[in-house]
């Protein structure tokens, strides 16, 4: 049965041909679901969301208002797209939330891992390119941009307005500060922390991130120092 009897689809939503909607899934008003897309049990598609053809939203995947998914995307269980960004301003001793009123745009054939969160943009959308691979438990903050075919390992975090180029390889538990960037084809080793703007074809290690060759020389020097007589 294409739509499970225990799912809820708003009459104002538009479902393409051969769409499957699992048990307890919800599709809100004005959402558009492309043909052959499958929505797993307990998944949620918010008001006005656009989901392309041949997508898969696995169990508990949540896509909130203002999000657009290209064709052939995979959202693994428990990931959240379009949540409000972590932005606050201090006013009269109180932390007041800055409204995040834009959305999230994801290119075609992109895979987003379990329990990963992608925040919506403040005034412009958060953008993830095509054929991107993002692992589990990754945080993509508001207004981040990620280029096509970039691969990001698990438990990494990218602060607001940081930017990652195309064809990059990002190791596990990597962090990027707000407004930092790395150019196309950059590699970042596991647990690297980038605080600045790095050019294309960088090979970064450590915290703060430095070129791999520089880090290797420093490590070799430290090793020699440890062997010197006191």
Cβ contact 89:53 at 8 Å: no
Residue 106 is encoded by which pair of tokens? 């994801």
- Compute φ and ψ for 221, nearest 5 degrees: -65, -40
Catalytic residue among 91, 95, 97, 142: 142
Cα 6 to Cα 30, 61, 230: the distances in Å are: 20, 17, 74
Q: In what order do the strands lie in the sheet with 181-182?
A: 14-15, 32-33, 50-51, 67-69, 104-106, 126-128, 145-146, 163-164, 181-182, 197-198
Q: Does 142 qualify as catalytic in the annotation?
A: yes
Residue corresponding to tokens 């898969």: 56
Catalytic residues: 142
């Amino acid at each position: 049965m294409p739509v499970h009897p225990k799912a809820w689809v708003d009459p104002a939503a538009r479902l393409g041909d051969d769409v499957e909607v699992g048990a307890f899934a919800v599709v809100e008003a004005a959402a558009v679901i492309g043909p052959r897309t499958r929505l797993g049990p307990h998944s949620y598609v918010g008001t006005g969301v656009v989901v392309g053809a041949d997508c898969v939203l696995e169990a508990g995947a949540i896509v909130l208002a203002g999000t657009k998914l290209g064709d052939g995307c995979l959202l693994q269980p428990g990931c959240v797209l379009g949540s409000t960004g972590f932005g606050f301003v201090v006013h009269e001793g109180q932390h007041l939330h800055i409204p995040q009123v834009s959305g999230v745009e994801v290119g075609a054939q992109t895979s987003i891992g379990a329990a990963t969160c992608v925040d919506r943009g403040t005034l412009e959308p958060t953008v993830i390119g095509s054929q991107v691979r993002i692992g589990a438990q990754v945080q993509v903050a508001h207004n981040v941009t990620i280029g096509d075919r970039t691969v990001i390992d698990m438990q990494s975090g990218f602060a607001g307005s940081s930017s990652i180029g195309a064809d990059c390889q990002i190791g596990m538990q990597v962090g990027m500060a707000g407004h930092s960037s790395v150019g196309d084809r950059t590699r970042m080793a596991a647990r690297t922390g980038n605080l600045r703007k790095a050019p294309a074809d960088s090979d970064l290690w450590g915290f703060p991130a430095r070129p791999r060759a520089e880090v290797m020389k420093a490590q070799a020097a430290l090793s020699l120092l440890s062997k010197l007589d006191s």
